[in-house]
Amino acid sequence: MITALLFGVFGVAAVAAGVAVFVTDSMARASYALAVSFVAVGGIALLLNLSYIGPIIVLMMVMEMAIMAVFMVMLMGMNPALMPMDMTHSKRSSVVLSAAVFVLLAAVALLVPWPVRESLRLPGGDTIAALGQSIMGSKMLVMLTISPVLFATMVTAVVLANPRSRYERLGDDLDRERPADPERGGLQR
């Protein structure tokens, strides 16, 4: 019962965050929504007893989005969350193409005569557990501990590298018409 409830919560969270990737008007918010979506997918993988793949999905996506945020701040020179943008291009053709791909994949999933497995375990034991053990071995606990520390380090580096916040640029109530930038140029000029 609890597993089914968690599966539903993770599924709804994954789909809602996936929709938010395309609905939001900022690259940073879209990146964080994508990370939330994949963390929920990692939770689903854990519920399906994929004890190696689930944590890897979560670790990989959290680190990937952290690195993306660092590069956005570093290369854009400002807080990318303040930059409104349209995350969808060629809306009509992308909807048609995505609907066609969905129909094709659904047809393949339903019409292909998939082989039937006699057992979920191979004669030699659990292949996925053996793969995880051979790749990570005793280092999985280290990876689970180091990843949040690396993420916190990256966030701290971004905060320290960008001392001018949106409140300094646009005022305490974010109502300044023009940002108080030390140099001319950029948005709104």
Residue 54, in any domain of the structure: yes
For the entire predicted model, the pTM comes to 0.53
| Residue 133, domain member (yes or no) | yes
CA–CA distance, 103 with 110 (Å, rounded to integer): 10
Consecutive H or E run containing 176: none
Say how far apart CA 74 and CA 98 lie, in whole Å. 33
pLDDT value at residue 81: 58
Look at residue 151 and tell me if it is in a domain: yes
Determine the straight-line distance between the first and last CA of the chain, rounded to whole angstroms. 57
Domain assignment of residue 8, yes or no: yes
- Report the pLDDT value the prediction gives residue 14, as an integer from 0 to 100: 95
115 in a domain, yes or no? no
CB of 52 closer than 8 Å to CB of 129: yes
Q: With contact defined as beta carbons under 8 Å apart, do 78 and 65 qualify?
A: no
At residue 80, the pLDDT reads: 56
pLDDT digits (tens, 9 = 90+) for 65-121: 878 777 776 666 556 555 666 655 677 888 899 999 999 999 999 999 888 766 655
Q: Which residues pair with 125 in a beta bridge?
A: 122
Q: How many domains is the chain built from?
A: 1
Cα–Cα dist 69/56, whole Å = 20
Q: What is the pLDDT of residues 13-41, one digit of tens each?
A: 999 999 998 888 777 778 888 899 999 99
d(CA 107, CA 116): 19
In this structure, is residue 178 part of a structural domain?
no
